[in-house]
Structure 1
Amino acid sequence: MQEEGPDSRAGLAQAAAIWDRRKWLALVLFAAPCAAFLSLVSTLPNLYSSTATVLVEQQQIPEGYVKSSVTGEADARLHMIREKILNRSHLKELIERFNLYPDLRKRADEESVVERMRKDITLELKELQRQVFGRDGTFGFKVSYRGRDPETVARVANTLAGEYVEENVKMRTRQASDTTLLLKKQLDEIKARHDEQERRIAQFQQRHMGELPDQIHVNLSTLSRLNQDLALNSEHQMRLIERRERLSKQLFDITAGGAGAAPHPESLAYQLEKLRTELTALRTRASHKHPDVQRLQGEIAAIEKALAEMAADAKLDPAQAAALLASPDDIRQALRESDRDLKNLKVEEQRLRQELIAYQRRVERSPQHAQEFQQLERDFKMTRDLYLSLLQRYEDALLAESMERARHDAEMRIIDPAMPSASPAAPNRTRLYLIGLALSLAIAAGGVMLAEYRDRSFHDVDELRAFTKVPILVRIPLIETKAERRKKAVWAGLRAAVSLVSLAAIVGAFQYLGAENEQLVWMLSEKPAPSAPR
């Protein structure tokens, strides 16, 4: 401490000597910026800011029940709304409605005024809650506006917040309606395509009836049945031909007039035929109760019984037994019936063969139509699935649209309207005054230090002794005459007058600069003017 004492005293003495030499320079360098800054701050206009808080709530109904047709996150939708609200025509309408920036509108063009209001509007997103899974939860944002009149500022901020809410409702409703219309248009197109493909399949099925792939098993079964029917028909024809041959032979044996052609007079067949002839002749003369008629009927019955027993002993089939008992007329009738049945069987055989050829053609053509039909059916199923999917989405969109219309402003609402501010948001004059004083002191100190640095003269003997080793013999003080002192005083007065005039000019200039300069207020504020998010 004892060693630092002389140095400290020397430093104080040197500082006092510098102040004595440069006090007027220091006073001028301090007074000029201080007066300028203080006059500038004192004339700056008061700016007020008001903020409205809007709450955004996401869909509360689970999407498993009702899926919203409004796509996109809320912050992206807010950006779109912001771009619409901040467009030139809308801001111009607000400026005229609330008579904003009257002074600026007198000296600047319309585009500059609109850009100025665009800068004065701030949108600040503020997250309040976020769900863990998937979609965002509830969050809010703030709409702020700054201006000169606190009442007007609050009304403008509330108007902007209300327009955000209104535009959000319009946008969601319009998006839901557009989604419904788009789905309806797509649904109509798919429905028309579905109907056309259904009509083409029906025409294909009608045109190739019986030749479709799913009918091949039926066709094969029908072919098998037709083959069986054809074989049975052939068998029946063979039997009829054999029977006709037997009947023809028997008729020939009965009616032939050649030797050995007629039956033996003692044969039962001959006796039976003779009795039948007599019975026929007798019936023309007597009734059925006549004794001779009854006698002949009894004899005929006895002979028929004997022939039947003979046929049974000979193991003849029923047709042969019937032929044995038949008369020539019966045999001829049986031949005619056999011819008729044989003709019917031949017609049936022709029909069966035609059907057989037709079904064989169907079976052969089925593979040819299978690929075409499968392509038609695949396209039809794909279109049907797409139609059902679009139909479900369309019904969901209708429900979502009705939900959007019913909700109105439930998703976005103002929870904290803007209120007129009691104190200005800018400028912070106390802070600016302190900054001005600090800068003025720094300028004065810097100016004095620069002047001392550029001054190469010696101010006392000690400085000269420190500069050279030559011994100093004598020190002569400055001798001034009265004229010189008078001249010095005049120059001092002139410098003081010039300094005062300059100081007054600086004060006036900075007062003019600060008056109505809102942009300068935000530049000098503690927090820079907020900019809207991009």
Structure 2
Amino acid sequence: MDDKQRRKGWDGLIEVWNRRKWLAILLFAGPFVATVSLALALPDLYRSTATVLVEHQQVPESFVKASVTGEAEIRLQTISQEIMSRSRILDLITHFNLYPEFRGRVPLEGLVERMRRDIQLELKEMHQQTANPGATIAFSLSYRGRDPETVAQVTNSLASMYVEANVKMRGRQATETVVLLKAQLEEMKRRQEEQERRLSEFKHRHMGELPEQMQANLATLQGLNADLHLNSQNQIRITERRDKLAKELVEASVGGSARGAASGPDTLPGRLERSRVELTELRTRASEKHPDVIRLKGEIAALEHKLTELAREAKLDPAQTAVLVTSPTELKQVLRDVDAELKAVKAEEQRLRKDLATYQRRVEKSPQHEQEFQQLERDYKMTKDLYYSLLQRYEDAQLAGNMEQRQKGEQFRILDSAIPSKSPAAPNRLKLILIGLILSTGLAAGAVLLAEQRDTTFHKVEDLRAFTKVPVLVSIPRIVTDADRRRSHWQFCLRTTASGLSLVLIIGVTYYVAHGNEPLVWLLGGGRS
């Protein structure tokens, strides 16, 4: 039973094939021939890739801080925009004679856009387990084209351009940083000198009245008050002494007159007075070392000693003794000295009071100048701190600039140069043919099934008997005449010719579409167009 059903199924398929074979052959051959023609007509495209390593700063940042900041991704985007510029792309097209088949037919802007699409940049980032996840450690540059040797040369040239552009960009940024910091440093130095000049002028203009001199002024005031008190005491003492000397001078004048009238020149006071007069006259003619001057001094001293002894024996008071011994001339001289001393003390009092007033005024004005002085000093300190901060940053920028000149900073290094590809990157012809084979087979099978489902005719007596209960009495086979055979032959020839011409047309159209069509290659291959 199973064998009979299996044989019946195969017989049904053979019958369907016999009825629909030309439909299946045409619907299979058309797409398949188009696919094969397309796969064979598409141009071979090659791709070469160069890997560029992003080397970080070789000198630790704890020693030299880099003046070029920013992530490598941002710098790569900036460099890409510079390299992908119209002038750079046209230079590459001219140098390597790229796209010769499109020159003259495509505008320059079209060639530039085409090469931009043919260049691909891919970043390679760190894994998430690293200390700095997401950071770019390398990137790959690739270029596609028809000639593998030219493609490799263009790729290496692009990689070299990225390396050179990175060096120039970092050097330019470091130089601009140094120039900017130098200008700011000069401006800050000028501001510092201006603040220092203003502070110096304020100190000079208000010398002695500054808040920082308050304690010194108070200590000076205290010392001046003490000196003024001492000066007052000295004036009292000198005044009492002067009054006493004036009284002695009066007594000496009265006592000398009485003594000169009562006693002769041979008495001790008379001899003492006469010796003093002689000494005074002799000093006008001789020096102190003259023998006569020395002799008179000795006589005067001896006479004063004798008079002092006599006054002590007579029990005279000291004032009477001084009157007896001292002459009115000496008392006048002493009185003049005392007057001069009193005058000097009073002059010192005036000076002390003047200084006292000056320092008192300074102490009173110190709080008035304190706020202004603090503002000037604060501005000066801030400017000074900012100046030294800029100076440190300027020195760091100079070191960073020297490091960039020696290429010790973050650099790009070509890790793997591009080499000519041995096999084309696209198209994958075998894949395209297999896909065409599957699609053609499916299309043919689907068309046959659809035709069978829409066909309402009966091809066998069994089909008619299964469809109706009316008995089939007679089955007349088809009668084929010679005319029918000739007509069938001509129809076969026409169909074969039309099918052949259709296939040739399909091949021609697909070849015309696919020949040199690079965007179609990348579109069919799943790449960028």
Q: TM-score, normalised by structure 2?
A: 0.89
The separation in 1 between residues aligned to 2:314 and 2:77, in whole angstroms, is: 118
2:398 is aligned with 1:398: yes
The separation in 2 between residues aligned to 1:332 and 1:518, in whole angstroms, is: 135
2:338 is aligned with 1:342: no
Residue 306 of structure 1 deviates from its aligned partner by 5.7
The separation in 2 between residues aligned to 1:161 and 1:292, in whole angstroms, is: 122
The separation in 1 between residues aligned to 2:351 and 2:193, in whole angstroms, is: 39
Give the residue type in structure 1 aligned to 2:307.
Answer: I
The separation in 1 between residues aligned to 2:295 and 2:145, in whole angstroms, is: 149
The change in CA–CA distance for 1:176 and 1:131 in structure 2 (over 3 A counts) is: farther
Residue 276 of structure 1 deviates from its aligned partner by 2.1
Provide the residue aligned with 1:365 in structure 2: 365
Relative to structure 2, which stretch is displaced further, 97-106 or 18-27?
97-106
The separation in 2 between residues aligned to 1:7 and 1:120, in whole angstroms, is: 60
Relative to structure 2, which stretch is displaced further, 126-135 or 436-445?
126-135
The separation in 2 between residues aligned to 1:262 and 1:91, in whole angstroms, is: 137
Contact 1:254 1:262 in 2 (8 A): no
The separation in 1 between residues aligned to 2:57 and 2:128, in whole angstroms, is: 13
Residue 325 of structure 1 deviates from its aligned partner by 4.1
Contact 2:45 2:425 in 1 (8 A): yes
Provide the residue aligned with 1:251 in structure 2: 249
Provide the residue aligned with 2:80 in structure 1: 82
Written as runs of structure 1 = structure 2, the 5 A alignment for 1:455-470 is: 455-470=455-470
Q: Deviations over 1:78-135 (max 9, x none)?
A: 1111111111111111111111011122322211111111111111222478995459
Contact 2:32 2:437 in 1 (8 A): yes
Give the residue type in structure 2 aligned to 1:98.
Answer: F
Residue 12 of structure 1 deviates from its aligned partner by 2.4
Report the secondary structure of 1:412's partner residue.
Answer: strand
2:497 is aligned with 1:497: yes
Provide the residue aligned with 2:172 in structure 1: 174
RMSD between superposed Cα atoms in Å: 3.2
The separation in 2 between residues aligned to 1:382 and 1:135, in whole angstroms, is: 40
Q: Deviations over 1:127-154 (max 9, x none)?
A: 4789954598882221111111111111
Contact 1:254 1:263 in 2 (8 A): no
The change in CA–CA distance for 1:480 and 1:323 in structure 2 (over 3 A counts) is: farther
The separation in 2 between residues aligned to 1:145 and 1:301, in whole angstroms, is: 133
The separation in 1 between residues aligned to 2:425 and 2:448, in whole angstroms, is: 38
Residue 266 of structure 1 deviates from its aligned partner by 10
Report the secondary structure of 2:66's partner residue.
Answer: coil
**Match 1:298 to one of 298, 302, 306:** 302
The separation in 1 between residues aligned to 2:422 and 2:411, in whole angstroms, is: 32
Provide the residue aligned with 1:106 in structure 2: 104
Q: Percent identity?
A: 52
Q: Deviations over 1:192-251 (max 9, x none)?
A: 111111111100000000000110111111111111111111111111111111111122
Contact 1:48 1:153 in 2 (8 A): yes
Give the residue type in structure 2 aligned to 1:117.
Answer: M
Provide the residue aligned with 2:187 in structure 1: 189
Give the residue type in structure 2 aligned to 1:94.
Answer: L
Contact 1:187 1:391 in 2 (8 A): yes
The change in CA–CA distance for 1:277 and 1:464 in structure 2 (over 3 A counts) is: same
Provide the residue aligned with 1:328 in structure 2: 328
Provide the residue aligned with 2:510 in structure 1: 510
2:40 is aligned with 1:29: no
Relative to structure 2, which stretch is displaced further, 454-463 or 271-280?
271-280
The separation in 1 between residues aligned to 2:250 and 2:73, in whole angstroms, is: 115
Give the residue type in structure 2 aligned to 1:89.
Answer: S
Written as runs of structure 1 = structure 2, the 5 A alignment for 1:40-119 is: 40-119=38-117
The separation in 1 between residues aligned to 2:323 and 2:460, in whole angstroms, is: 180
Give the residue type in structure 2 aligned to 1:277.
Answer: E
* Equivalences, count: 517
Report the secondary structure of 2:168's partner residue.
Answer: helix
The change in CA–CA distance for 1:325 and 1:458 in structure 2 (over 3 A counts) is: farther
Provide the residue aligned with 2:286 in structure 1: none
Residue 465 of structure 1 deviates from its aligned partner by 3.6
The separation in 1 between residues aligned to 2:489 and 2:501, in whole angstroms, is: 18
The separation in 1 between residues aligned to 2:490 and 2:322, in whole angstroms, is: 178
Q: Deviations over 1:15-69 (max 9, x none)?
A: 2221111000000111111111111111111111111121211012111111111
Report the secondary structure of 1:170's partner residue.
Answer: helix
Unaligned stretches of 5+ residues in structure 1: none
